[in-house]
Structure 1
Amino acid sequence: MKKLESSLTNMVLVLTGVAVIMGAILAYVNHLTEGPIKAQDEKKISDGIIAVIGNPDLIVSKKDTVKQNYSGKELTYIIYQAKDKEGKDLGAAVESTTMGFGGDLKILVGFDPEGKVLGYTLLAHAETPGLGAKADKWFQKGEKGDIIGKSPAEPLTVSKDGGQVDAITASTITSRAFLLAVNNAYNAYKATPVDAQTGATKQEKED
């Protein structure tokens, strides 16, 4: 068999072939992992809703997507309105994203029917480990920046800006971003009417 002569054309053909094969492999792997990743994300949200509302037997009675403009940028919020087994309004859990110090900071925050914060959890962030990452605990009940039970009807701000919330030590930017996410989540929640009859989905906590 005659050996192929080394040429630019041959090299291009080989590289193109490799690229096509690698692309097909990546597409196949992505197809295999897409389902498990989606299921994992859904479970994370499901468990998060239970955690921030504080009721393991709650039912998500409605899921809304709200878009609002903030400083010229369109932001998207997902509101999970919650009921108990008897149909009593428990409030809602809201997904909210803002720009932190290192990148997007995404939270899930729970509100009671009056708009007071029931709880929160960080879904994703790119903050500095040991500093901005402390937001996961810093604003929880009993901690220095405790916001549980507070209402963002009057926007929550850090004490450095005249507010009543202690910022994370050496992480004022992250603290501002976190509180902005909470304030925006509250505004999105209050802009959404409650409807107990739409898309009811029970959230069950797994062992």
Structure 2
Amino acid sequence: MAKKESTFLNMTLTLFVITIVSGLSLGFINEITKGPKAEAKLARKTSALKNVLPEFNNNPVNEVSLIKSDLAKDSIEIYPAFLNEIQAGTAVVGSSEKGFSGLVKIMVGFHPDGTINNIAVLEQKETPGLGTKMKDEKFIRQFRDKDPATFNLKVKKDQGDVDALTGATITTRAFGEATQLAYDVFMENQKQSKN
């Protein structure tokens, strides 16, 4: 049997077939995983809402508002929480692109008076053992029951009130910026609701 000569046309055709098969396979896999990915994302948000908000008995996910802001690339999500039709709190998703490794996305739960109930980290790619400590109870505790109108969300090194994570000042700054964004959007939304 004679060995087939390798030509430019043969190589191009082979590469084209491999590319088509790979593209179709990736598209198919993406389609079958789209549903489970969406369900997992919804479960994470629902869990975060239960963690950051005071007690509520409505479904904040069904009542979410998306607000466009110059301060963020994406629309900002606002989740109202009610207990027996009385506003119990509001959760706002804040983000900052200024983390050590980029995006830091958090959900901040506010009481109706603007004080922080709790904060949950939704997304981050910070350094393990340093920046990832932003999820720790010890770090988040310093934000609870604080009113950002009087509690400066900057790190102490920048004349703020926040104790920075050891070795992760950039991450702490991004966390504070995301929290400030959430608070600013919360306050703007409160003003619009009263008008």
> Distance in 2 between the 1:166 and 1:51 partners?
22
* Two-structure CA RMSD over aligned residues (Å): 2.1
User: Once the two structures are superposed, what CA deviation does each residue of 1:168-200 show, in whole Å capped at 9, x if it has no partner?
Assistant: 1121111111011001001111212587xxxxx
TM-score normalised over the length of structure 2: 0.88
The answer (yes or no) to whether the contact 2:54–2:88 under 8 Å persists in 1 is no
2:93 is aligned to: 95
The answer (yes or no) to whether the contact 2:56–2:81 under 8 Å persists in 1 is no
> Distance in 1 between the 2:111 and 2:24 partners?
48
TM-score normalised over the length of structure 1: 0.83
Q: 1:171 aligns with which of 164, 168, 172?
A: 168
The answer (yes or no) to whether the contact 1:50–1:58 under 8 Å persists in 2 is no
> Shift of the alpha carbon at 1:13?
0.4
Q: 2:177 aligns with which of 172, 177, 180?
A: 180
Structure 1 segment 93-172 matched on structure 2, within 5 A: 93-99=91-97, 100-137=99-136, 138-141=138-141, 146-154=142-150, 155-172=152-169
> Shift of the alpha carbon at 1:6?
2.2
The answer (yes or no) to whether the contact 1:96–1:181 under 8 Å persists in 2 is yes
Higher helix content, 1 or 2: 2
Unpaired segments ≥5 residues, structure 2: none
Q: Which amino acid aligns with 2:106?
A: I
Deviates more, 1:130-139 or 1:154-163: 154-163
> Distance in 2 between the 1:74 and 1:23 partners?
29
> Shift of the alpha carbon at 1:5?
3.9
Structure 1 segment 17-32 matched on structure 2, within 5 A: 17-32=17-32
Q: Number of residues paired by the alignment? A: 188
Counting aligned pairs with the same residue, the percent is 33
> Distance in 2 between the 1:172 and 1:76 partners?
27
> Shift of the alpha carbon at 1:67?
2.1
> More relative contact order in 1 or in 2 (CA 8 Å, sep 6+)?
1
2:64 is aligned to: 63
> Distance in 1 between the 2:143 and 2:68 partners?
25
User: Once the two structures are superposed, what CA deviation does each residue of 1:57-114 show, in whole Å capped at 9, x if it has no partner?
Assistant: 44327311122223xx645311111111x11101211111102011101111100101
> Distance in 2 between the 1:39 and 1:20 partners?
30
Deviates more, 1:3-12 or 1:167-176: 3-12
> Distance in 2 between the 1:151 and 1:114 partners?
8
SS in 1 for 2:36: helix
Q: Which amino acid aligns with 2:27?
A: A
1:201 is aligned to: none
The answer (yes or no) to whether the contact 1:69–1:75 under 8 Å persists in 2 is no
Q: Which amino acid aligns with 1:95?
A: V
